[in-house]
Amino acid sequence: MNEAIGAISKFWAAIAKHLLQRIAPRQGSRPWFKKFAILAVTVFFVATTASLVYAQDNSPEPSELPGNKIDGFPVMLADEELFIIQMPVSDFSAEERVKAISTRLEERAKDSNFKVDDLRIQERDNTTIIRADKTILTITDDDAKAAETTRQDLANSHLDIIKNSIKKYKRENSPYRLLKGIALTFLATLALMLVFGILTYIIPKIFGSVDYLRSEPVRPLRVNNITLLPAAPLNLALGFLANIFVSLIKIGGLILLVAIPVAYITAVLNFFPSTQDMAGEILAYINTGQVLTIGLVLLITYYTLIVLRVVFAELGRGTMSFAGFHAEWAEPTYKLVKFFIMVLSTIVIFPYLPGYGSPAFQGISIFVGILVSLGSSGAASNIVSGIILIYTRAFKKGDFVNIGDASGTIVEETLLVTRVCTPKNVVITIPNSTVIGSNIVNYSSTSRDEAIPPLVLHAAVTLGYDVPWRKVYRVLNEAARATEHIMEEPETFVLQTSLDDFYVSYELNAYTDRPDLMPSIYSELFQNIQDRCNEADIEILSPHYSAVRDGHQITIPENYLPEDYTPPAFRVETINNFLNPQADMQNGANASEAILEGKTLEEDKSNEADKLETFLPEYAIEEEKPNRGNNPEFPELDDLENYKPNSDNESETLLQGNDLEEDLLSGDNDLEKSSEGVGIEASRRKRSKKSESLNKRSSS
């Protein structure tokens, strides 16, 4: 039976789907008809299925028979009551007797070899037995007394009832009756398809005719060039009548959509004896008026939602407004109100559904309740968080936000989750409970609220102290003005954020009304900063590197440099003369500092010779042999190799002279290598004069 019910339900679902596809409103119209039709069909099938379940669940079982100890218990065969048993027999109660009799009768009725004529009455001393091959029923004097008749008459009455019920059972469950029911079901199905085919042909034609009449302009009513009725009122009246006609057609279509399947299912159930009682229960349920109550509740719910949809649509467009109610609240508020209205309607309809209160219905309710209880904790948290996000106006669809680690555009906002599309086109789904617990940065809120200034984009750059800050301000502002989507008003501005050891930190601030394009705006802004700084001969660096450049080229690209540009050199300073401090003091101008850049080669070599001569004692120059006079510490020598020291002090002085002579020769060699072809005679003459001057000072 369950398989038959499932097959019928699937068949009707396919037919209903086909019908809805064919008679759906034309393209561009509102799909309310289809939605409401689906709702009506769903309710009907819930009711029908519950009715069938109710009928099966309430079929009498041998273990649960109606009756009581006073009125007796009925003997049943195939849901048909045969007679009542009131009295017990020996150790068997009346209820136990009924269970045994019903089981025996059902076994004989299902036995294809059993013949009704085999049933007979057998008399005994105190009992009368109805039997065939086995005993089926025993009748006692107490049974006859309870029935207020004789034992023989009661036995004959029970025998006739048993024979007729078994014959009926065999007839209704014969293969012929089953084939007949299948054939009638096939014919009913063909009739159903024919009716739906006619409806799918007629209803679109009717809607098309109405649309054509609406599109045709109505001429004014005139008599002898006198306008009795202008065209505008006639068009308005015709449109009103057309709307009424379309509404009537839709209501009639809904009635047919419910009535036709009810008639079909009732007829099919009547074709099979085992389901005739179900068909009777369906008709009885319809006659009670509960279907009318359900239909009325659905109709009120439907038109209430239509009115609310119009109201909230106007609120969303801004044509209607309430104090404190923002336009972006319209759509989510309508969804919430719609949900609560549908839940309320379901609660009202529930008691009127067939099978309400049956064990099957109660089992389904308990299962759904447990399922909701176990799985609703997280969902409820997300729903509450979603409602809070809506009415706190944290963001809306299309805003560019930063939620936790996710940055992007809001593409969907529901009661359960929020979806963010990043600039890399990656959609991130975030539960609303996570969103409500995170810091939400909305970059787009300033663009839709006139009371808040536009979004400020900032870029930091560090430059050396050698670059004038006014020049930096001018260059950075020019770079911002050259960037697309940077607003001219308010004007951009530059801030100095810190004065560090080697550089100054600048921050460029610019306004934009396109926060959704923030990554591309930043990229273009950085490009323009580089271009403008290069054009203004400003290096973008922190000058730790500039202080020790070591002759490397600056970082500005070559196309921005002058044609005569040469890399800068080191600035070199000499150390103090630790061997002859007095000479260093006298010749400080020559021994303090030599600037290699910007001088001729001859002057550089002459100065180098002066500096080297500062470190040389007068007796350490081999080419010059000064006359030391009578000073015992400096005898006249032809060469240093023939000199023999007279004392330890003189020996120590000579060693120092030899070391310094080697240093001088090494320095001369280096000087000759670096002179690039220029003679050193001038340098030697100058050293000779300097040595004579030193000898005179030493003698004095």
Per-residue pLDDT, averaged over 59-73, amounts to 51
Could you tell me which residue, 327 or 434, shows the higher pLDDT?
434
pLDDT at 691: 57
Could you tell me which residue, 650 or 405, shows the higher pLDDT?
405
Give the C-alpha separation, 483 to 497, whole Å.
Answer: 23
pLDDT at 27: 42
What lies within 8 Å, CB to CB, of 261 at 6+ separation is 12, 15, 16, 41, 44
Residue type, 84: I
Among the ranges given (146-150, 258-262, 532-536, 684-688), the one the predictor scored with the smallest mean pLDDT: 684-688
HEC sequence for 241-297 = HHHHHHHHHHHHHHHHHHHHHHHHHHHHHHCCHHHHHHHHHHHHHHHCCHHHHHHHH
pLDDT at 23: 46
* CA neighbours closer than 13 Å in the CB half-sphere of residue 655: 5
Nearest to 577 by CA among 568, 566, 586: 586
pLDDT at 649: 45
Whole-angstrom Cα Rg for the chain: 56
Angle at alpha carbon of residue 245, lines to 239 and 246, rounded to 5°: 90
Check whether 483 has a pLDDT greater than 90: yes
Give the C-alpha separation, 17 to 495, whole Å.
Answer: 68
User: Do the bridges between strand 406-413 and strand 400-403 make them parallel or antiparallel, or are there none, so unpaired?
Assistant: antiparallel
Containing 519, the helix (H) or strand (E) segment is helix 518-535
Check whether 639 has a pLDDT greater than 50: no
Strand partners, 410: 420
CB 519 within 8 A of CB 423: yes
Angle at alpha carbon of residue 386, lines to 371 and 333, rounded to 5°: 105
Per-residue pLDDT, averaged over 73-91, amounts to 83
Q: For residue 581, is the peptide bond before it cis, meaning its omega torsion is within 30 degrees of 0?
A: no
- Report residue 590 as tokens: 């020559």
Strands of the 440-442 sheet, one edge to the other: 427-431, 417-421, 406-413, 400-403, 440-442
Give the C-alpha separation, 26 to 204, whole Å.
Answer: 8
112-126, 135-149, 526-540, 636-650 — most confident range:
526-540
- Report residue 134 as tokens: 């086995």
Containing 81, the helix (H) or strand (E) segment is strand 80-85
Per-residue pLDDT, averaged over 593-615, amounts to 46
DSSP class of residue 127 equals: E
200-204, 479-483, 612-616 — most confident range:
479-483
Could you tell me which residue, 115 or 508, shows the higher pLDDT?
508
pLDDT at 430: 93
Check whether 285 has a pLDDT greater than 80: no
pLDDT at 695: 58
- What's the Cα-to-Cα distance from 192 to each of 14, 18, 112, rounded to whole Å? 12, 12, 36
pLDDT digit string, tens, across residues 248-279? 888 888 788 888 888 888 888 888 877 777 77
pLDDT at 692: 64
Give the C-alpha separation, 106 to 56, whole Å.
Answer: 18
pLDDT digit string, tens, across residues 108-152? 888 878 888 888 888 888 888 888 888 888 888 888 888 888 888
Could you tell me which residue, 232 or 11, shows the higher pLDDT?
232
Nearest to 418 by CA among 390, 447, 446: 390
Confidence bin at 68 (pLDDT 50/70/90): very low
Nearest to 256 by CA among 189, 208, 199: 199
Nearest to 293 by CA among 345, 333, 252, 341: 345
Confidence bin at 326 (pLDDT 50/70/90): confident
Residue type, 390: I
Give the C-alpha separation, 211 to 205, whole Å.
Answer: 10
Give the C-alpha separation, 440 to 235, whole Å.
Answer: 54
pTM: 0.48
pLDDT at 593: 43
Per-residue pLDDT, averaged over 400-425, amounts to 90
Among the ranges given (129-133, 509-513, 660-664), the one the predictor scored with the smallest mean pLDDT: 660-664
pLDDT at 592: 40
Angle at alpha carbon of residue 380, lines to 375 and 382, rounded to 5°: 110
* CA neighbours closer than 13 Å in the CB half-sphere of residue 435: 33
On the 0-12 / 13-18 / 19+ scale of CB atoms within 10 A, 479 is: buried
Give the C-alpha separation, 491 to 143, whole Å.
Answer: 111
Angle at alpha carbon of residue 288, lines to 285 and 290, rounded to 5°: 80
Angle at alpha carbon of residue 169, lines to 166 and 172, rounded to 5°: 150
Give the C-alpha separation, 403 to 414, whole Å.
Answer: 16
| Residue 236 φ then ψ, to 5° | -65, -45
Helix (H, G, I), strand (E, B) or coil at 503: strand
Among the ranges given (49-58, 122-131, 465-474), the one the predictor scored with the smallest mean pLDDT: 49-58
Nearest to 42 by CA among 24, 16, 3: 16
pLDDT at 132: 83
Among the ranges given (26-40, 113-127, 209-223, 340-354), the one the predictor scored with the smallest mean pLDDT: 26-40
Q: Report the percentage of the chain scoring pLDDT > 90.
A: 13
What integer best gives the mean pLDDT of the chain?
Answer: 73
Give the C-alpha separation, 314 to 334, whole Å.
Answer: 12
Per-residue pLDDT, averaged over 341-361, amounts to 83
Buried b (16+ CB within 10 A) or exposed e, 249-286: bbeebbeebbebbbebbbbbbbbbbbbebbbebbeebb
Per-residue pLDDT, averaged over 153-167, amounts to 86
Per-residue pLDDT, averaged over 316-321, amounts to 81
Give the C-alpha separation, 42 to 649, whole Å.
Answer: 125
Helix (H, G, I), strand (E, B) or coil at 500: coil
pLDDT digit string, tens, across residues 5-39? 555 555 555 555 555 554 444 444 444 445 545 54
| Residue 277 φ then ψ, to 5° | -65, -35
